[in-house]
Amino acid sequence: IAFIGDGTDNVLNSLIVVSAKLGLYLSIACPREYSPDLHLLESLLDDAEKSGAFIEVTEDPKEAANSADVIYTDVFVSMGQEAEREKRIKIFMPRYQVSSDLLKLAKDDCIFMHCLPAHRGEEVVDEVIENSKHSVVFDQAENRLHTAKAVLKHLLG
């Protein structure tokens, strides 16, 4: 899995935990000033060692995307960060934008994921999110609905 974008992102934090516990290869490409939480990474070292996970952080999106099975991204400006919008866009764009050229570095049968809503033209271009060969974002959104319903059913008995 290659995650391209904000290393402090909540979705990425979940990917880091799952990767460490399930033994996945996760390559995170982000600007240095938006790197993942070091305490989170350190807290998962034992899990990663037991599961055989490999988690790396790089500033180079091309390095992360190279031969990836999955390219994942999320918004550059999350809720509550609107005041930082201009600064964040300058830092993340265009280097950390998932483009068709970046997607070509991944495996031919790679999938593109995004938790939605996407800010098209920022973290991802239309050609990628609408790409029927690679993009699974709409299936991903539908599956999230069914997962939420199952959790509610379980919690409510």
Q: Which residues, 6+ apart, have CB-to-CB distance to 36 below 8 Å?
A: 7, 8, 12, 13, 16, 28, 30, 57
What is the reported pLDDT for 14?
98
Question: 52: burial class by Cβ within 10 Å (0-12, 13-18, 19+)?
Answer: exposed
pLDDT at residue 85, as a whole number: 97
| Domain enclosing residue 35, as ranges | 2-156
pLDDT of residue 150: 97
Sign of CA dihedral 108, 10, 43, 32: positive
Name the residue among 83, 84, 91, 80 with its Cα closest to residue 122.
Answer: 91
pLDDT score of 17 = 98
Domain count, the chain: 1
CA geometry: angle 138, 103, 147, nearest 5 deg: 25
pLDDT tens column, 112-130: 999 999 999 999 999 999 9
CATH number for the domain including 137? 3.40.50.1370
The pLDDT value recorded for residue 58 is 99
Confidence band of 23 (pLDDT split at 50, 70, 90)? very high
Question: 132: Cβ–Cβ under 8 A, 6 or more apart, which residues?
Answer: none
Residues 6 or more apart from 119 whose CB is under 8 A from it? 75, 76, 77
Do residues 27 and 68 make contact, with C-beta atoms less than 8 angstroms apart? yes
Cα 110 to the chain's mean position, in Å? 14
**H-helix or E-strand spanning residue 116:** none
Q: Among residues of the chain, what percentage have pLDDT more than 70? A: 100
Amino acid at position 128, single letter: V
